[in-house]
Chain A
Amino acid sequence: MSDIQAATAEEQPDAAAPEPRHNAKRDKPRSLAADAWADLRRNKIFWVAAVLVVIIVTMAIFPSLFTSANPRACTLSRQHSGPTGSAFFGYDFQGCDVYARTIYGARASVEVGVLATLLSGVIGLIFGLSAGYFGRWVDAVLSRFIDIVLGVPFLLAAIVLAKRLSQDPQNNGVVAVIVTLGVLGWTSAARIMRSSVIAAKNQDYVAAARMLGAGPARLMMRHILPNSIASFIVVLTILLGINIASEATLSFLGIGLKGDAISWGIAISEAGPYVRVAPTPLIWPSVFLAVTVLAFIMLGDAVRDAFDPKLR
């Protein structure tokens, strides 16, 4: 997972000459967010990604807008039969409507992706903020702990953790996957947060606020956090895409979602053995999964370009 962040962080935009602004003088001084938004609005990749993300999220929340078929209504007699009526993609091994199941599969991906990223964000924020702000031994202990978590290859740790968390066969494993991905994915976000907090806390405005008598809580929340959160949010956006891919991988391996859960990872794994006879149940969930991950990573890329002041 961290490779994507490394890749995107290493990349520099081509040094395109900034367009001369005719109304530069009339512009009011803009905040970082307003500036970033102005940048984003001109970015085509951002719009493509945003439209895709909106479609996918709509699909996750209201799957019935896209299909009226019941994804759980499977009839074995329709096994591997071709497209009919509303079942555009035909039927799978169990005789389920592939189109309906692919549409309904968005929910698990988005749900797991968003919640796991939020969990990672909370953990990363707490770790990064306290390591960066308090420094000294707090930083040493927390940084070593981050090193240990980073020292374990992500998927291997996820296999063990997800297996441990989802021992109840009644449960479809959503919570277990969210916790697994959330608990393992926060490290790079914490590191980014830590370094931007360290950079922000030595600024003059923080010293000024401290001299005016602001306590640590106020300093952190009102002064340091707003000025150091940009790159943290960017990392989280990219993490969202990675988490969706990881959910599919875990489900594919049989330790993610299970039971009667509908997930692209499960669909790919189940279609695998029959791929010679019926490739469509494999192809469509794969395409949807790839496009979803691509959309979120493109969004993260665009947001990073807009927010990272070094790249301007």
Chain B
Amino acid sequence: MFRYIVRRLLQMVLTFFGATFLLYALVFANQEDPIQALAGERPITQNVRQVLTERYHLDDPFLTQYWYYMKGLLTGDFGTSLTGRSISDMMAQAWPTTIRLALMAIIIAATVAIVAGVISGIRRGSIFDNVTLVLTLVILSLPIVVLAPLTQLIFGIKLGWFPPTTGADPGFFKLLMPALVLGSLVVATELRVTRTSVAENLRSDYVRTARAKGLSRQRVIGVHVLRNSLIPVITLIGVDIGQLMAGAIVTEQVFNIPGVGFNLFRGIRTEDGPLVVGFVSILVIIFLVVNLLVDLLYAALDPRIRYE
């Protein structure tokens, strides 16, 4: 286990440097005059140019610049956006909303997926099973850019069940519809995985043993099958964080939620390079850390698996 953790950490370091390097190279290598871009159409005096060049290390070779960027990232300094606000500040303001939204989405998706997945895993081939399979196929094929605006139109505007947009500091009810939309991004996969692993475990030896011992059906399914079936689902929830981040950009924009995705979208629209890179870097780091945690959890949950 210890060796596994160390190896996993080393892998993560490699991925982290590789990913941030790719990201940085894509955005900042060989760009046209960034100082002129900052100033727009106005002329820039030689003095200003010199100060800015020194402040942002524009004369240094590319690798040195990457080094400065990494130093900033590792010390929690993510730079400033083109509007002059510190990206760490913007992040700190946007986080609570996005975390609330993401948690709601994860919980809703996991609950629906596990309940429906277990039922259709137990009753394979039943009407319920077939209907869920078709539904998951439909949900899988609905891109978030279709799902979010249409949900807003149907349930927010036409039917009026939910507030169509949320606005600043949203509460539970206001976030419910966006969370449902966001959750539906990942619910289909989780449901299918639950279904398969329940169906698989039902045929396993330990379930037969448990039945032979005379345990009740509830206990066999609730304890023996469920615990073992949830292991792959938990890993999947970790991987899905990446999906949720991507989905949050569109969802927050459509429902007007002032979270991380909303800021990122605005950064893209206003050509705010530093903001985009800063936000994306943070999101990538979070994605890597969450996946590391999930992998460790996986190892802890399933003692059958030996990581050597």
Contacts and interface: CB of A to CB of B under 8 A. Distances in A.
Interface of A: 2-4, 6-8, 10-12, 14, 144-145, 147-148, 151-157, 159-161, 163-164, 241, 245, 248-249, 252-255, 265, 268-269, 271-272, 275-276, 279, 282-283, 286, 289-290, 293-294, 297-298, 301
A153 B248 CA distance: 13
When A and B form their complex, which 5 residue pairs have the shortest distance between CB atoms, in order from nearest?
A155-B246, A148-B18, A153-B242, A245-B143, A294-B141
B26 A161 contact: yes
A224 to B, nearest CB: 29
Given A151-B19, A272-B149, A275-B149, A254 B268 contact: yes
B153 A248 contact: no
Interface of B: 11, 14-16, 18-19, 22-23, 26-27, 124-125, 129, 133, 136-138, 140-146, 149-150, 152-153, 157-158, 186, 188-189, 192-193, 195-197, 199, 236, 239-240, 242-243, 245-246, 249-250, 253-254, 264-265, 268-269, 273, 276-277, 280, 283-284, 287-288
Nearest to B232: A10
Q: Which of B26, B124, B157, B246 has the most CB of A within 10 A?
A: B246
Given A7-B193, A154-B246, A265-B145, 17 more contacts: A3-B140, A147-B15, A152-B22, A153-B245, A153-B284, A159-B264, A160-B277, A163-B268, A253-B250, A253-B268, A254-B269, A275-B152, A276-B157, A279-B158, A282-B153, A290-B143, A293-B142
A18 B193 CA distance: 25
Q: Chain A binding site: helix, strand, loop or mixed by DSSP?
A: helix
B302 to A, nearest CB: 17
A157 B140 contact: no
A240 B249 CA distance: 22
Contacts of A279: 153, 157-158
A155 B141 contact: no
Given A152-B19, A153-B283, A160 B26 contact: yes
Contacts of B192: 7-8, 10-11
B60 to A, nearest CB: 21
Given A7-B189, A155-B249, A249-B250, A160 B150 contact: no
A152, A154, A161, A275: which has the most chain B beta carbons within 10 Å? Answer: A152
A283 B283 CA distance: 32
A10 to B, nearest CB: 5
Contacts of A151: 15-16, 18-19, 284, 287-288
Contact of A249 (B18, B136, B145, B196): B145
A49 to B, nearest CB: 11
B189 A159 contact: no
Contacts of B188: 3, 7
A10 B196 contact: yes
A102 B152 CA distance: 21
Given A7-B193, A152-B284, A164-B27, A290 B142 contact: yes
A12 B196 contact: yes
Given A4-B189, A253-B268, A156 B196 contact: no
A164 B15 contact: no
Contacts of A163: 27, 268, 273, 276
B254 A6 contact: no
Of listed A4, A153, A157, A279, residue having the most chain B CB within 10 A:
A153
Given A268-B145, A294-B141, A160 B280 contact: yes
A151 B285 CA distance: 10
Nearest to A11: B192
Contacts of A249: 143-145, 246, 250
